[in-house]
Amino acid sequence: MYQNFGQFINGEWRQGSGAEPVIVTDPGNGQTLGEIAAASVADTQSALASAEAALVEWRTTSGWARADLLQAVAKEMTALAAEAAQIISKESGKPLAQASREWELSTDQFIWYAEEARRIYGRTVESRVPGGRCEVSHEPVGVVAAFTAWNFPVVLVARKLAPALAAGCTVVLRPSSEVPGSAMMIFECLRKAGLPAGVANLVVGPTAATYEPLIASPVVKKVSLTGSTQLGQQMIRDSAATIKRLSMELGGNAPVIVYDDADLEKALDLSVATKFANCGQVCVTCDRFYVHQSRYHDFVQGFAERAKKLRVGYGLDEGTQMGPLINPRRLKAIEAIVADAREKGARIVVGGERIELNGGYFFAPTVIADVPDDALAIAEENFGPIAAITSFSDSDDLWRRVNNSDFALSAYAFTRDPARIRETVARLESGMVGINSYALAAAEVPFGGVKASGMGREGGSEGIHDYMNIKLAQIVL
């Protein structure tokens, strides 16, 4: 597959001219899936030139025409769903059912933003000047550089491409080199749908050949990133010289409050399924659980019992519920977090160790109880299959503990009290809050965080505005 695709520049697939190939590994068995001829600096510059040239016509293409093209992309994606899910599963390790669902959610992005392309509204404001009027309109920001992470290799791509294209921007996208084939599947759908040459470009390769030319170029007017907070901080510094517009979805460390009146069975069923999806490698997953002391024992026991029953295995094997971590580095990182919890007096209830399976990067579903607040499992994003559980009794102290984090992407709570729901939503410092639910990511609602978790929003009617400039015209007749 990689030989047939590679770099997508100016409407066609090309082989990169970089010195070293990109080697893609299957995390479920440690074997090589394939190699890609990497992009060089010249390839990235060619992609930029193509995006700049295509912007002239694309930005003036009507919203209705852009909408029709995005709908056509969605149809191509639907036709390619089965094949795409296989590739997503092999590259990322996630179970096939989760890979299929990710492709569906990615398709939703193109459907949603096809409709948003028709609804880019302006407004008229009464002028103070006699015979005048003020018109507020929106225009595409220009050429966009987009960077995506490996944990959701297609939905992160779709969240950037769909609103950018709907707004009238052109794009150069650089996906994670660990999962490039998944992004290539979307770009093949763009090609089949008839997207004009140069409107969307894909470059795969090392940082020096892809990231650095895009960030340094004055052609790029906006940057969109999904990645670590450290990378986001570096990107802010790197883009300062050319004053680029930025939107970033960065790290998370989501708290979950389980109140004394919670539906415990519902909370457990949803929490276990969410925590161990994609092997815990989800920025909005439930990381640290604060359980009322009256429900603490039952919650820990119920979580452990459910975690023990999870079937860990290769993503394409029937019945697999949790796959591997993405690479050996993540294995070492998760082991360090577990060791730190032990040293600080926490109790490993279930898991806490690697699983030797087919040469893959597997770690057991892990439940840790009595975790102190200064343990890494609570204090930092673990980004793995670790559920860190602690208790609370005093509500005022609870808010100090829950909000004591630089991350503020998502937060959750389980309660049946309407007044408590309102208080919880108001007091949680987070860009997104789930009450008795973990379902936050959908095309029709804004997704994003505050504090060190990022800026800007993806999804919803808000998402398209991150790709548009506001223009005021004072017109006097």
State the amino acid at position 7 in one-letter form. Answer: Q
Name the DSSP class of 447: B
CA 269 – CA 288 distance, rounded (Å)? 16
Sequence-ordered alpha helix ranges (H) in 205-260: 211-216, 229-239
Which residue in this structure is represented by tokens 């309660």? 415
For residue 122, what are the CA distances in angstroms to 125, 137, 157, 472? 10, 5, 28, 10
For residue 280, what are the CA distances in angstroms to 64, 87, 129, 387, 470? 40, 20, 58, 9, 39
Instruction: Say if CB 403 and CB 429 are below 8 A apart.
Output: yes
Q: Residue 126 — φ and ψ, nearest 5°?
A: -60, 130
| Closest residue by Cα to residue 168 from 26, 297, 61 | 61
Q: Given 188, 249, 381, 458, which residue is catalytic?
A: 249
State the amino acid at position 464 in one-letter form. Answer: I
Q: Which two tokens stand for residue 46?
A: 């060619």
CA 331 – CA 457 distance, rounded (Å)? 31
- Cα 354-359-363 angle, rounded to 5 deg: 20
Sequence-ordered alpha helix ranges (H) in 406-468: 418-427, 460-463
Order of strands, sheet of 286-292, starting from the edge strand that comes earlier in the sequence: 347-350, 366-369, 386-392, 286-292, 254-258, 410-414, 432-435
The 3-state DSSP class for residue 289 equals: strand
Sequence-ordered alpha helix ranges (H) in 386-454: 395-402, 418-427
CA 209 – CA 221 distance, rounded (Å)? 19
Q: Residue 265 — φ and ψ, nearest 5°?
A: -65, -40
Task: Please confirm, yes or no, whether 249 is among the known catalytic residues.
Answer: yes
Q: Which two tokens stand for residue 99?
A: 């890979």
Q: Residue 253 — φ and ψ, nearest 5°?
A: -155, 70
CA-based radius of gyration for the chain: 23
The 3-state DSSP class for residue 144 equals: strand
Catalytic positions, please?
Answer: 249
